[in-house]
Structure formats: C-alpha cells, structure tokens
Structure 1
Amino acid sequence: MTALLVANDGGHLAQLKSLAKRLPIADAFRWVTVPTPQSESLLAGEDVTWVKPGPTRDLKAALQNAMLASPLFRKGKISAVVSTGSSLAVSVLPQARLHGTPSYYIESATRTNGPSLSGRLLAKIPGVELYTQNASWASKKWKYAGSVFDGWEPQPLPEERKVSKVVVSLGTSRTYGFRRLLEHVAPILHDVGAEILWQTGTTDTTGLPVLEPRSAVPAQELSAAMREADLVIAHAGTGVALEALQAGKLPVLIPRRAEFAEHVDDHQEQIAGMLKHRGLAVVREADQVSLDDLVLAASSTVGLREDARPLAL
C-alpha cells in the first residue's frame, strides 16, 4: 500500500517534507506536487506524480489537477492521503473520501489565527480529518497535531559575526513580486560589500544594486548556500523560514503586504509573528530593516532538539 503526500510547491511542500518523518504512517510514500527547480531537487529519488501549477484561487487549475490525480485512486492501492495545502489539497482530498480513503489535512503553520480558504472548503467534506499547527485556535473540529517548528531553539554566538556572505530569498511566486524588500535591503548589503545569492522570483530588480538575480534556485543549491552564509534574509514564507532554520540560521523575515499587491492577503504577518514569538526570527517591516538587525541575526545560530514528537494524527 502507498500513502499520498500532497502539497503545492514552495512552503506547503517544504512543510510536508519536514513533517513526513513524523507521520504515524508505515506505508511507502508517493508525492503529488508541482515540478519546479526547488521541488524536483527536494524530492530527488522519491516516487512523485507531477501535476500542473495551482495558482491561488484558480478553479480551472484545481479541476485540472483533480483529473490528473484521479488515476491514482482507480488503482485502489492508496492507504491514506496527507496534505499541507493549498489548492492541491482541494483537488485531491475530496476524491480520496469518495473512495473511502483516510484523509488528513494539516493546515499550514502560517495560519496562526484560523484556517485558510482551502481549509475552510475541506472542512465541508465529510470524513476529512482536520489539524492545525497552532494550538491557539484548536477546537473539536480542528485538532492540534504539533508544528513543523517544534524543537527548534536559538542560541547566540560567542562573538558578533560580520555580515559578509548572504542569501536573499523572495520565494518562487509566479504572481507577486516584492520590490519593497529589495529597495531597502539591497543598498545596505551593497554598502557592506557582502557576497550575495539573490533569489528574486518575479520581482523586478531594475535600477537596484542586485547582481545576477535568479528567479529560482534548486533546493539543494539554496540549502547549501544558506549553510555557508552568515545571514539569510527572506520574505516571511513558511518554506524559506524552515530552510533557514534547517541551515542553522536565524533569519531576518519581512512580511509581504496585500496593500502593496505583494500577496493575496497578510498571512505572512502571522507566520512572522509566530516565529518571532518562538525566538526563531528577527522580524521587520521592509522599510525598517537596519544593519544592526542583520548583525543581530548573523550573530545567532539555531538548532533542532532530537526529541520532536510524532504528529498526533
């Protein structure tokens, strides 16, 4: 038997990959996700069914991916389906329930105040088990299963670290840029003469001191660069925050804002606030970032305790 692990690319997939080793499931895994340089690198050697991109609130794409996933259930060998969202969960989990397959939806750790649109839709599907990664809004319907950020602890370094090698990552959104971050951060890094890997997504870098911007960087290359860097600066996405922690870095996170057309809503403020509360990020607005903030983050490290508990599904 095989369990399907279903997630959109980016932060949703990064969370599920990290949580997979804590799932109380003994069967083999098959992944269902979108092919990107990051996801192909992250899932190298895994059993994967590739589907089409699922932009936010794109009904046509959700229906297309439902059709692509349908043959997986006709074979009748799926023991369970687990998803961390977003639109792919809506494409796949209702089909799983029609076939009587146990289905588990784990809401993104980003959602600290309540479920996403995908979560609210799936809450209407009988038999889908619903889980939150934030105990503050757990309920009879939404059980608390634990969080992808459980077990991480910050530790200051003995001495202040110079900011000389930096990774700046704005995620891989195909729709939203984040020029405000670059406008304030790029001049600071230029003045200190730092060596920088710029992963800029769709953001326009025209006129900014941003050398060799790259829209996407394979996951293994990005992770290696983070491990070697003094500092990681990023939008407040769950995936990139988790990558930074796994590289031992305390990231500087800047939330995207809907009012500036940087995202569909302000959910990145939620993830930034949660990580700040846990002591796992330096959080600033785009126009408030200073060199002192960068030095503060660079002069700390982060580690994972070995006793992170299995998810309580």
Structure 2
Amino acid sequence: MRNSSLPRRSKLLLVSSIGGHLTELLLVSKILEANADSRWVTAENDQSTSLLADRPVTYLPYVAPRDWRTALRVLPQFHRLLREEHYDAVVSTGAAVAVPALLAARSLGVPAHYVESVSRFHGTSMTGRLVSGIPGVGLYTQHPERAQGRWRHDVSIADSLARRSAPRRKQGPPRIFVTLGTIRPYRFDALVDRVLKVLPPSAEVTWQLGVTARNDLPGTVRDYVTNAEFSRLAREATAVVTHAGVGSVLQLLEQGVEPVVVPRRAARGEHVDDHQMEAVDAFTRIGIATCRQVEDISTRDLVGGTLVLPQSRTATLPADLQHLA
C-alpha cells in the first residue's frame, strides 16, 4: 500500500522545528538509516548548529506553533529546495514547519511522511490534524495502539525509553542544572519561581531558560546552550530539573541522567496544549524519571541527588540512542 512504511536507506529531506522535534528526527533518521547526503531543514540556534555541524543543512526562519503566516512564507523555499536537488522523500516530525514542507513535497510529486511526536500518547497534535488533510502524506504514530485509519505504526522512540539499568545516586555538594528547552514563545516562570523557593542556600545552579528571561536568579543564567555544553552540565550536576519536553528528556537519558521532569501547563500559558502531561504519565509508567507538578517540587528533589545510570548503560541502549549526537 502506498505510504505504508517510512523509507529506509534513502536520500531524505528531513524537516523539523528546533528542540524536541529535532531530537526526535535525529533518532528517527538513525532508525531509517538515512543516507549521509540527506539534507536537514530547521531553524538556527545553538542546539541545531551543534547537532547538525557535519551534515548538509538549510536554515529557515523559526516557525512558532500555529504561526501559519511564517509557515506560508517559507513554502516557496521548500519548493526551491525540492526543485534544485532530488530527494527520495520528505520526512518531518513537526511542528508547524511540517505543513509547508509536506505541501511542497506533494505538489511536486515527492513522497511525503509525517511522524507524530512520541509525546502524543493519546490525542493528535494540531500539526498532525493539518497534515492529515494533505492527500498522499504518510501518517505515522509512534504508539501501536493508536494505529488506525491512515495512521500507521512503523518506528517508536518510546520503546527505547524502557531499556535501562538500575540507577545509582550521584553524590556531592548540590550542583543543580535547570533546563527549560528551546520552545518559543512560551515562558515557564512557574517552574523557575518554585525552584527559587526551594533552592538550597549552598547550591550552585545553572539555568538554561530559553525565552523565560529573568534578572533575579542566582548562579549562571543562559538563554541557550550547545549540545556539548548541555551534556557537560547534565553530567556534572547532582540534580537536573527539566520541562517535560521529550527531546530534553531523551538527551538527559542518553547522558545517563534521570531528571526531575515537570510538565508545562496550557492553563498557565506555558504551551499550546497539555501534551506534556501525557508525556509525564508515560515517563511515570515506564519509570524513567522523577515526575513532579510545579507545586510539588521540594528541596529534597534538589539535594537528594540526580539518579545517574552506570557508564555501562550505553552498551544496553539501542543504537538510535547510543549515537545521539
């Protein structure tokens, strides 16, 4: 059946937003064994430039969630990319930038595939609903129980999350890394305020805030960090607190760190919807993280020590997680 499976060992145009969507697409591309001459299309920031440093890449303006004006503005650029060079298919993990990419692909007769985020354990994202209206686009869920109609199950990052060894506690003076990811334009002041309230006086803390700019914080404050710096900060920390972005959690697990995971809430204006609540439910069931609502974070969470998996853990990880760059 047409579009019944994702293309393997092919030259692909790989399209995603920055943040968790890009992390997921990296993992998906490894599962698909995408050719080395595949081209990446995303926005430019510290994460994307470090992750894609040695890969063919085209940077386009950032398309924020539901920013359809910018999505339409980049549509001609996807037409140009697909006319200038042959690609066997276009594959995207979202978010809004997937719409112009897949529209351009289908208008030019190029096979097009959309992989819904692993964080969508129950409902379908706005992007998923929109691209499902484009004739001929292959639609994929990462959860086999959700495969129905045009939605098929082919690859799954979630299966990788459960493969883990018994953790150990990292000891030492409190050294805390708080990371809010790269999602724009959504702030997460509630998490920052709660950590401030329960922060041990002696703690050394590094904040990666994204768009949640603040001038009242102790320690080191960064808007964004490179992938290499993220890895270093995570491994050196005795506790890591992160928003429940699947990309951030995946990167931390790859470093052997089991973080304190806190979901953004739509009611507080912290995200477009509550899909991070679904992710937290799944993380709790799998047992890969300490999950807290903002109001439940305690000093004990910050001084109890991040759960760090033994170095030998990477030998048991599937290849797609072992080689996350």
TM-score, structure 2 as length reference: 0.87
Question: Aligned match of 1:228 in 213, 225, 236?
Answer: 236
1:81 is paired with a residue whose SS is: strand
The answer to whether the 8 A contact 1:162-1:295 is kept is: no
Residue 180 of structure 2 is aligned with which of 166, 170, 175? 170
Look up the match of 2:75. Answer: 66
Partner secondary structure for residue 118 of structure 1: helix
Counterpart of 1:17? 26
Query: Does 1:49 find its partner at 2:72?
Result: no
Pairwise CA distance, 1:7? 0.3
Runs of 4+ more than 6 Å apart: none
**In the alignment, which residue of structure 2 is the partner of 1:196?**
205
Shift of residue 175, structure 1, vs aligned partner: 1.4
Which of the numbers 258, 261, 276 marks the counterpart of 2:269?
261
Determine if the alignment matches structure 1 residue 185 to structure 2 residue 195.
Answer: yes
- For residues 196-222 of structure 1, the C-alpha deviation after alignment (integer angstroms, 9 at most, x for no partner) is 221012224344x43231111122211
Match of 1:148 in 2: 157
- Cα deviation per residue 1:180-201 (whole Å; 9 max; x = unaligned)? 111111343333x232221012
Deviation at 1:42, TM superposition (A): 1.1
Q: 1:99 — aligned with what?
A: 108
Q: What is the match of residue 281 of structure 1? A: 289
Task: Say whether the 8 Å CA contact 2:11–2:35 is kept in structure 1.
Answer: no
User: Which runs of structure 2 are paired with 1:130-149 in the superposition (5 Å)?
Assistant: 130-149=139-158
Letter in 2 for 1:174: R
* Distance in 1 (alpha carbons) for counterparts of 2:71 and 2:173: 43
Q: Which string of whole-angstrom CA distances, capped at 9 and with x for unpartnered residues, describes residues 43-63 of structure 1?
A: 111100110010111111001
SS of structure 2 residue aligned to 1:39: helix
Corresponding residue pairs, total: 308
Whether contact under 8 Å (1:114, 1:137) holds in the other structure is: no
- Extract unaligned runs of 5+ from structure 1: none
Describe the shift of the 1:219–1:291 C-alpha distance in structure 2 as closer, same or farther (beyond 3 A).
Answer: same
Instruction: Single out whichever of 220-229 and 100-109 deviates more from structure 2.
Output: 220-229
Check the 8 A contact 1:5/1:81 in 2, yes or no.
Answer: yes
Q: Match of 1:180, SS?
A: helix
Tell me how far apart the structure 2 counterparts of residues 230 and 253 of structure 1 sit (CA, whole Å). Answer: 15
Secondary structure of residue in 1 paired with 2:252: helix
SS in 2 for 1:112: coil
State how 1:74-85 maps to structure 2 within 5 Å: 74-85=83-94
> Which residue of structure 1 lines up, in the alignment, with residue 6 of structure 2?
none
The amino acid that maps onto 1:291 is: T
Cα contact 2:37–2:56 (8 A) shared by 1: no
8 Å CA contact 1:169, 1:200 repeated in 2:
yes
Conserved in 1, the CA contact under 8 Å of 2:46 and 2:224?
yes
Give 1:280 deviation, angstroms. 1.4
Identity of aligned residues (%): 37
